[in-house]
Amino acid sequence: MNDKQLVELAERYFAAVDRMDVAATLAFFAPDATFTIATYDTAYKGRDTEIKAMFERLYARYAQLWHGDFDHLAQPPDRIASRFRVRNSTREGEQLYKNNCNFFRVRDGRFDEVFVYMSGENSLR
Whether residue 125 is contained in a domain is answered as no
What is the SS3 string spanning the chain?
Answer: CCHHHHHHHHHHHHHHHHHCCHHHHHCCEEEEEEEEEHHHCEEEEHHHHHHHHHHHHHHHHEEEEEEEEEEEEEECCCEEEEEEEEEEEECCCCEEEEEEEEEEEEECCEEEEEEEEECCCCCCC
Q: What is the CATH number of the domain that holds 108?
A: 3.10.450.50
Whether residue 66 is contained in a domain is answered as yes
Domain count, the chain: 1
- Residue pLDDT tens, the chain, 125 long: 999 999 999 999 999 999 999 999 999 999 999 999 999 999 999 999 999 999 999 999 999 999 999 999 999 999 999 999 999 999 999 999 999 999 999 999 999 999 999 998 888 88
d(CA 40, CA 58): 16
Q: In the beta sheet, which residues pair with residue 66?
A: 87
Whether residue 124 is contained in a domain is answered as no
Whether residue 123 is contained in a domain is answered as no
Task: Output the pTM of the full model.
Answer: 0.95
**Of 107, 105, 49, residue with least CA distance to 80:** 105
Residue 104 belongs to domain spanning: 3-118
Whether residue 68 is contained in a domain is answered as yes
Whether residue 87 is contained in a domain is answered as yes
